[in-house]
Amino acid sequence: MDKVYRSLSFTVVMMYLLMACAIVFLPSASAAETDEKELGFWFEARMDSKKSSELIGWYEYEFTDMFGIYGLVSLENEDRYRQGYAGLTMKPLPQALPWLQVGIGIGRERDSESSGVRRNLFVSVDSDKVNGFATYENGMTGPWHRVHLVYHVTDSISVGAMQETNLGGAPRVEYHIKKNVTVWSAVFRDRAVFAINVSF
C-alpha cells in the first residue's frame, strides 16, 4: 500500500508541477489554435537498448471546447502485455488556458497469465513552446507513471526531461521531422530509449 501511495503521490506532485510550469512559461495562445484540425489519431513505436518494445495507439475527440473523449491501446513484447482504456477529457479553462487538458479513464489489461481492470489519469500541456504529458495508471499489475516536459528550441528540435516507473529520470531530445512526425530519445541509467510518433 505504501508503494502505491508513494507512486500516486509522486505522480500527483509531477502533474501539479507540470501545470505550474505551464502557467508560468506559456503564452495564452495555443499552437493547436493555429494548426489545421487533425483526425485525433496518434501512434508511437518505442524500443530500447535492451530490446524491449512497445506500440501505443491513441484517439481523441472533442465534443465542445471543454469536453471530449479519449482512448488508448498499448502492446508490449515483454510477457505479451497489452492494455486498453477509454474515458473523458476536460479543458478546465478553455478560454484562459486552452493548452491545458486533463483526462480520466478505465479499461482492461492482460499479460501472459491473467487480466484485470486498469485505471488512468493524465494531464497534458500543448503550446507553441512547451509540450508536456503526465500519466498515472493503476490496476492488476500495480501503479505506473510516465512524465515528460520539453521546450521547443526551434521548429525542429525540442529538449527536456522525462521520468518513468522502473526507469528513473533522463534527459529527452526530440527531432520533429515534420509537423506530425517526431522521433525522440532518452538515455536512462541502464538503457537508451528510442521512439517515433505520428499523428493525423
pLDDT recorded at residue 79: 78
Question: How far is CA 92 from each of CA 35, 102, 185, rounded to the nearest angstrom?
Answer: 21, 8, 31
- Average pLDDT over every residue of 24-48: 68
Question: What number of other Cβ atoms are within 10 A of residue 99's Cβ?
Answer: 25
- Grid cell listed for 148: 515528460
- Average pLDDT over every residue of 73-79: 91
- Average pLDDT over every residue of 145-160: 97
Bridge partners of 144?
A: 137
For residue 9, name the pLDDT band (cuts at 50, 70, 90).
low
For residue 112, name the pLDDT band (cuts at 50, 70, 90).
confident
Question: How far is CA 90 from each of CA 44, 65, 66, 99, rounded to the nearest angstrom?
Answer: 23, 9, 5, 11
pLDDT recorded at residue 26: 44
Report whether 73 contacts 84 (CB < 8 A): yes
Which residues, other chains included, contact 135 with Cβ-Cβ below 8 Å and sequence gap of 6+? 120, 121, 122, 145, 146, 147
Nearest to 58, CA basis, from 39, 37, 79: 39
Domain 2-199 has CATH 3.30.300.30: no
Bridge partners of 192?
A: 187
CA distance 171 to 169: 7
Domain range summary for the chain, segments of one domain joined by +:
2-199
- Average pLDDT over every residue of 109-136: 96
Mean pLDDT of the chain: 87
Write out pLDDT tens, residues 45-59.
999 999 999 999 999
Q: What percent of the chain has pLDDT over 90?
A: 78
pLDDT recorded at residue 30: 42
